[in-house]
Amino acid sequence: MKNTALNQTHIALGAKMVPFAGYNMPVQYEGVNAEHETVRKSVGVFDVSHMGEFLIEGEHALDLIQKVSSNDASKLTIGKAQYSCLPNDDGGIIDDLIIYKLKEQSYLLVVNASNIEKDWNWIQSKNDVGATMRNLSEDYALLAIQGPKAIEAMQALTSHDLSAIKFYNFVVGDFAGIEHVIISATGYTGSGGFEIYCKNAEVKQIWDKVFEAGADYGIKPIGLAARDTLRLEMGYCLYGNDIDDTTSPLEAGLGWILKFTKDFTNSEALKAEKERGTERKLVAFKLDDRGIPRQGYDIVDGNGQKIGTVTSGTMSPSLGIGIGLGYVPNVFAAVDSKINIQIRKNAIPATVIKLPFYK
Q: Work out whether strand 23-28 and strand 2-3 pair parallel, antiparallel, or are unpaired.
A: parallel
For 73-101, write each residue's pLDDT tens digit: 999 999 999 999 999 999 999 999 999 99
Whole-angstrom distance, CA of residue 145 vs CA of residue 143: 6
Q: Which tens digits make up the pLDDT trace of 216-261?
A: 999 999 999 999 999 999 999 999 999 999 999 999 999 999 999 9
Interacting residues of 269 by C-beta distance below 8 A, sequence separation 6+: 91
Q: What is the percent of the chain where pLDDT is above 70?
A: 100
Number of other CB atoms surrounding residue 237 within 10 Å: 23
pLDDT confidence band for 185 (50 / 70 / 90)? very high
Give the β-pairing of 220-221 and 16-20.
unpaired
Q: What is the pLDDT of residues 308-352, one digit of tens each?
A: 999 999 999 999 999 999 999 999 999 999 999 999 999 999 999
Band (pLDDT 50/70/90 cuts) for residue 5 is: very high
Q: Read off the pLDDT of each residue in 34-53 and give the average, rounded to a whole number.
A: 98
What integer is the mean pLDDT of 104-133?
98
For the chain, percent of residues with pLDDT exceeding 90:
100
pLDDT of residue 84: 98
Of the candidates 358, 304, 50, 39, which has an alpha carbon nearest to the alpha carbon of residue 194? 39
Average model confidence (pLDDT) for the chain? 98
Average pLDDT over residues 290-304: 97
| DSSP three-state, residue 145 | strand
Average pLDDT of the residues in 183-212: 98
Is 319 in a helix, a strand, or coil?
coil
b/e code 162-185 from CB counts within 10 Å (16+ = b): beebeeebbbbeebbebeebbbbb
Instruction: State how far the Cα of 67 lies from the Cα of 350, in Å rounded to an integer.
Output: 41
Determine the average pLDDT of the residues in 12-38: 97
- What's the CA gap between 296 and 312, in Å, rounded? 8
Which stretches within the chain are classed as H helix? 7-12, 32-41, 61-68, 116-125, 150-154, 200-213, 224-234, 267-276
Q: What is each CA distance from 247 to 41, 159, 273, 322, in whole angstroms?
A: 34, 43, 12, 24
Position 67 scores a pLDDT of 98
* For range 169-192, the mean pLDDT: 98
Q: What was the pLDDT predicted at 221?
A: 98
